Structure 1
Amino acid sequence: MANTIHNLKQLRTVNVTRYVTPLREGGSMPAIAEADDGFLYVLKFRGAGQGHKALISEIIGGEIARVLGLKVPELVFANLDEAFGRTEPDEEIQDLLKASVGLNLALHYLSGAITYDPTVTKIEPLLASQIIWLDCLLTNMDRTPRNTNMLFWHKELWLIDHGASLYFHHSWQNWEEQAKRPFMLVKDHVLLPQADLLNEVNESFKTILTPGLIQDILNLITDEWLNEDIFKSSQAQREAYALFLNTRIANSAVFVKEAQNAKEAII
């Protein structure tokens, strides 16, 4: 059902050499930028509204999706030099660049990709169920008909933008309990009508996402971004993410049932 062979590699690091254009449809104003490897990237800034927490969500969500066999653009760390924004005429962009000096995150730019339109294309039930399961695990509120955060590129469906996932970490209140709760916003998920194979996907994905694999993904996150005051160390914060995710996986029947109930309610 899913590709269980995965080679989890360290994220590459590139240096940003050219700011191409802002993507103003994103609330955090990401940008298309060129790096010293000659490729274009969608650059997510640490100085944006949700800061490095959105970047942590991107790594966790993107790399979990990847090991589950879903299509996600390559994620890289992107260094932004102190001098980079000095010639930028737009004051808002200049402020964002100044606040983002250092290590940021970027996704490989899928040139020519088109936004998934649910009125034009229906996704087959297995893939729809896989994406629903992933978003329920991650509590990803940002895959709605208004903003699907999915692209068609070379006739394949690619997932982008997991920055709104794991919203518990913006306050860390009752996060142990939140790990066991259903994902109520699944009712708004753009792929819910096609998700007919949630039970089958649940059985498959639970066997792939072992605690060891979750830890390997969390180890990709740079210590620099794991600096919450409520934790004694970056490792303690990693352990909290691990506990949340592993608890959620162990209790996946709860969010699967909620998704199935939500699906029945719209039929």
Structure 2
Amino acid sequence: MTPIALRKINVMRYITPLREGGSLPALAEADDDFKYVLKFRGAGHGIKALIAELLGGEIARYLGLAVPELVFATLDEAFGRTEADEEIQDLLKFSQGLNLGLHYLSGAITYDASVNDCDELLASKIVWLDAFITNVDRTFRNTNLLIWHKELWLIDHGASFYFHHSWNNWEASAITPFALIKDHVLLPKATKLEEAHKEFTSKLNEDVLRKIVALIPEDWLLWEDHSITPEAIRNVYFQFLMTRLQNADLFLKQAQDARKVLI
């Protein structure tokens, strides 16, 4: 497998906040003349949300799901000084350095389960992915799915890997069957979970997961509230993913049982 790498861009212009996001992401323009949805290190859950976004997005991409390109986005210290909104100015001030950007899908519309259809295998794959990465935020209230050029695109994985907000007993979190899958917006359509399970457990392996975890910048692993080293933190994410992969039957059965309750 060839090495995985993300492009690096410099943020040139802050366009507008996207206030529907709890972490106050923003639309911005970069030095490559493309627009990006920026996720800031100075927001709510900080760099841990960026790590979850990075890992969740790149795992989804490797598995063949449609995810906007992720880029490392550098924010200069002078950026945002002219911003009139004090809340945004503070956010930009505390986000100097390396942030994360998602390529902006211009014209995309939010997926609505009551209006839009979804292929059963694709729905099953997305449900499996979210159970694997413990993503609590793909519900009817907040689907985090976009329709762009008649395709379904996955966004916003920052609420995944929620074990890292307490960092206690990650081993137990790694083998949870993930009961919250019952709230997944695509669960009613996920009739081919077994097929998705077989495909994804054959694709994912130690080499793939090591290379995806290795993408986490050192700068995002200097946690002030922990004495643990960046390399040790990376290893916990890797071990968490490997443990979940090795115990994938647990969350597969949980999703299947949750579907039985629905139907």
Q: TM-score, normalised on structure 2?
A: 0.97
Cα distance in 2 for partners of 1:8, 1:160 equals 23
Cα distance in 1 for partners of 2:227, 2:255 equals 33
SS for the counterpart of 2:181 is helix
- Displacement of 1:103 after TM fit? 0.6
- Displacement of 1:204 after TM fit? 1.1
Q: Residue by residue, what CA displacement relative to the aligned partner does 1:74-111 show, whole Å, maximum 9, x if unpaired? A: 00011111111110000000000000011100000000
- Displacement of 1:178 after TM fit? 1.1
The residue correspondences of 1:33-182 to structure 2 (distance < 5 A) are: 33-182=28-177
Q: 1:245 aligns with which of 238, 241, 244?
A: 241
Task: Give the equivalent residue in structure 1 for 2:182.
Answer: 187
Contact 1:168 1:175 in 2 (8 A): yes
- Displacement of 1:9 after TM fit? 3.1
Contact 1:118 1:190 in 2 (8 A): yes
- Displacement of 1:8 after TM fit? 5.2
* Unpaired stretches in structure 2, ≥5 consecutive residues: none
SS for the counterpart of 1:245 is helix
Cα distance in 1 for partners of 2:229, 2:85 equals 38
Contact 2:178 2:254 in 1 (8 A): yes
Call closer, same or farther: CA 1:99–1:157 in 2, change over 3 Å.
Answer: same
Contact 1:231 1:237 in 2 (8 A): no
Cα distance in 2 for partners of 1:238, 1:231 equals 14
- Displacement of 1:227 after TM fit? 2.1
Cα distance in 1 for partners of 2:61, 2:227 equals 28
Q: Residue by residue, what CA displacement relative to the aligned partner does 1:98-126 show, whole Å, maximum 9, x if unpaired? A: 00011100000000000001111121110
* Count, aligned residues: 262
RMSD: 1.1
SS for the counterpart of 1:18 is strand
* Unpaired stretches in structure 1, ≥5 consecutive residues: 1-5
Cα distance in 2 for partners of 1:33, 1:220 equals 23
Q: Residue by residue, what CA displacement relative to the aligned partner does 1:39-97 show, whole Å, maximum 9, x if unpaired? A: 00000000001000000001100000000000000000111111111100000000000
Contact 1:168 1:178 in 2 (8 A): yes
Q: Residue by residue, what CA displacement relative to the aligned partner does 1:171-226 show, whole Å, maximum 9, x if unpaired? A: 11111011111111111100001111111111110111101100000111101111
Contact 1:66 1:72 in 2 (8 A): yes
Identical-residue share of aligned pairs (%): 63
Contact 1:47 1:97 in 2 (8 A): yes
Call closer, same or farther: CA 1:72–1:31 in 2, change over 3 Å.
Answer: same
Cα distance in 1 for partners of 2:48, 2:37 equals 17
Cα distance in 1 for partners of 2:68, 2:90 equals 27
Q: TM-score, normalised on structure 1?
A: 0.96
SS for the counterpart of 2:131 is helix
Cα distance in 2 for partners of 1:225, 1:217 equals 15
